[in-house]
Amino acid sequence: MSSLDGKVAIVTGGASGIGARTCELFAEAGARVVIGDMQEERGQAVAAELGKSAVFQRTEVSREDDVRALVARAQQEWGRLDCIFNNAGFGGALGPVAETPVEEFDLTFAVLVRGVFLGMKHAAPLLCRQGGSIINTASVAGLVAGWSPHAYAAAKAAVIQLSKSVALELAPHRVRVNAICPGFIATPLALNTVGRTASASEADAARETMAAAQPIPRPGEPDDIAQMALFLASDSSTFVTGQALSVDGGFSSGRRWEDQPDMFRKYRPFRVYRPS
How far does CA 11 lie from the centroid of its chain? 10
For 183-208, write each residue's pLDDT tens digit: 988 876 665 544 445 555 666 667 77
Quote the pLDDT of residue 275: 75
For 147-163, write each residue's pLDDT tens digit: 899 999 999 999 999 99
For residues 97-133, b (16+ Cβ closer than 10 Å) or e, as one string?
eeebeeeebebbbbbbbbbbbbbbebbbebbeeeebb
For 154-158, the CB contacts below 8 A with 24+ separation are 154/109, 155/92, 155/108, 155/109, 155/112, 155/113, 156/112, 156/181, 158/109, 158/112, 158/113
Quote the pLDDT of residue 162: 98
Angstrom distance (rounded) from CA 211 to CA 193:
19
For 55-105, write each residue's pLDDT tens digit: 999 999 999 999 999 999 999 999 999 999 999 999 999 999 999 999 999
Question: Among 3.40.50.720, 3.40.50.410, 1.10.1200.10, 3.40.50.300, what is the CATH number of 8-265?
Answer: 3.40.50.720
Active site residue 152: yes
Q: Where are the domains of the chain?
A: 8-265
Mean pLDDT of the chain: 91
- Judge contact between 248 and 216, C-beta under 8 A: no
The single residue of 26, 105, 109, 152 carrying the catalytic annotation is 152
For the ranges 52-56, 135-139, 243-247, 260-264, which has the lowest average pLDDT? 260-264
Other CB atoms within 10 Å distance of the CB of residue 64: 13
Quote the pLDDT of residue 200: 56
